[in-house]
Amino acid sequence: MTVKVGIAGAGGRMGRFLVEALAQPGYDAVLAAAVERPGSELLGSDAGQLAGLEPNGVLLTDRLDAALAGIDVLIDFTSPATTVAHARACRDARKALVVGTTGLDSSQQAEIDAAADLVPVCQASNFSTGVNLLFRLLAQAAGALGDSVDVEIIEAHHRHKVDAPSGTALSMGKVIAKQLGRELDDVAVYGREGQTGPRARPTIGFSTIRGGDIVGDHTVLFAADGERIELTHRAGTRMAFASGAVRAAVWLPGRAPARYDMSDVLGFTGEDTVA
Ligand code: NAD
């Protein structure tokens, strides 16, 4: 059965790549709706043309309810408040939801979890295959190195990114903290300044770089006395995230209501589940 996909934020940076990814051969899926924010000057534009493709006849609309009626699954890369509203709408309309938006606070996350009680939701801070493989490598490295190293996470993104550190960096921190028996909230250090004193071993430090058009770089540094390991992922194009999210959208409809992540879509087993 061809999966009918709606894209929320279709005029955004990720939205345009999602439209392009859906048009690639190999997915049994079709773009059935493209949603943008009320008041956007892009409303009425052809989603294909906006993505740099031939026109596909799907015009950007702000009528989410009408869009939901004609789709099996909504892919949402917008903003936290919008994603919460869309999660409620998907729950009420009993439609599957793929969440790519990052920077949700705990009450916003609770709304996503509530939707997942009634509909299947796939949420990932990073939909690229490479990063999801890296999550597993990080768990392996942390398990092998244990408390003998200092762990630092360095990430870089384009100047337009509005949340920091990135959702991916936080997911990496969660994977490592879990493996080491720590709670990330207890050990995270978000930047340093002034008289910080010496570094405490259990802390996990985050450093954030913002500039230019960097799509997304992440390095995890395991530093010991005399040697260090650096595991790095660099995204060269947003297509790396978009194709993963489309893969999730094809996989999701018909699944039992629950919150899934990209490791489920990719068929990774084990307990290194992250969001
Ligand atoms: P963007 O600002 O370019 O795009 C967001 C789009 O959402 C905009 O076009 C905006 O008009 C639209 N929007 C806002 N309110 C809306 C509404 N009510 N209805 C429909 N559309 C609405 O941002 P972006 O760079 O595309 O990133 C979007 C989100 O995706 C961010 O949270 C970012 O961190 C996240 N992201 C996640 C991944 C991942 O793999 N999970 C990868 C890249 C970006």
pLDDT per residue of the chain (275 residues) written in tens, 0 to 9? 899 999 999 999 999 999 999 999 999 999 999 999 999 999 999 999 999 999 999 999 999 999 999 999 999 999 999 999 999 999 999 999 999 999 999 999 999 999 999 999 999 999 999 999 999 999 999 999 999 999 999 999 999 999 999 999 999 999 999 999 999 999 999 999 999 999 999 999 999 999 999 999 999 999 999 999 999 999 999 999 999 999 999 999 999 999 999 999 999 876 555 65
Which residues line ligand 1 at a C-beta cut-off of 6 Å? 8-9, 11-15, 35-37, 40, 77-79, 82, 100-103, 124-127, 241
Q: What is the pLDDT of residue 270?
A: 62
- The predicted pLDDT at position 268 comes to 86
The residue to mutate among 7, 13, 128, 241, having the most atoms of ligand 1 within 8 angstroms of its beta carbon, is 13
Give the residue, out of 79, 97, 126, with the most ligand 1 atoms within 8 A of its beta carbon, to mutate for a pocket test: 79
Q: Nearest C-alpha to atom 9 of ligand 1 is from which residue?
A: 12
As given in the structure block, the two tokens for residue 91 are 């729950």
The pTM assigned to this predicted structure is: 0.94
Burial of 137 (0-12, 13-18, 19+ CB in 10 A): middle
How far does the centroid of ligand 1 lie from the alpha carbon of residue 270, in Å? Answer: 30
Tell me the residue type at 181: G
Q: Tokens in use for 160? A: 């337009």
CB distance 151 to 174 below 8 Å: no
Which amino acid is located at 152 in the chain? E
Do 116 and 257 contact (CB within 8 A), yes or no?
yes
Cα–Cα distance between 47 and 31 in angstroms, integer?
Answer: 9
Predicted pLDDT at 273:
55
Please give the pLDDT value at position 1.
86
Question: What's residue 269's pLDDT?
Answer: 73
Whether a cis peptide bond, with omega within 30° of 0, leads into 165 is yes
Q: Whose CA is nearest to atom 1 of ligand 1?
A: 12
| SS3 label, residue 221 | strand
Question: Tokens for 267?
Answer: 């068929």
- The alpha carbon of 268 and the centre of ligand 1 are apart by a number of angstroms equal to 27
Name the nearest CA neighbour of 116 among 96, 142, 102, 131.
Answer: 96
Q: How far apart are CA 178 and CA 29, in angstroms?
A: 36
70: left (phi over 0), alpha (psi -120 to 50) or beta: alpha
What is the pLDDT at residue 162?
96
Nearest to 24 by CA among 53, 45, 61: 53
Q: Ligand 1: distance of its center to the CA of 138 in Å?
A: 27
Kindly list the distances between the CA atom of residue 110 and the CA atoms of 22, 160, 175, 208, in Å, as whole numbers in the listed order. 29, 26, 20, 26
Q: Whose CA is nearest to atom 20 of ligand 1?
A: 36
What's the pLDDT score for residue 170? 98
Beta strand spans in the chain (E): 3-8, 29-35, 60-61, 73-76, 96-99, 120-123, 150-157, 188-190, 204-210, 216-223, 228-235, 258-260
Q: Token pair for residue 184?
A: 């990330």
Q: Is the dihedral of CA 120, 126, 127, 130 positive or negative?
A: negative
Show the tokens assigned to 232: 């790095």
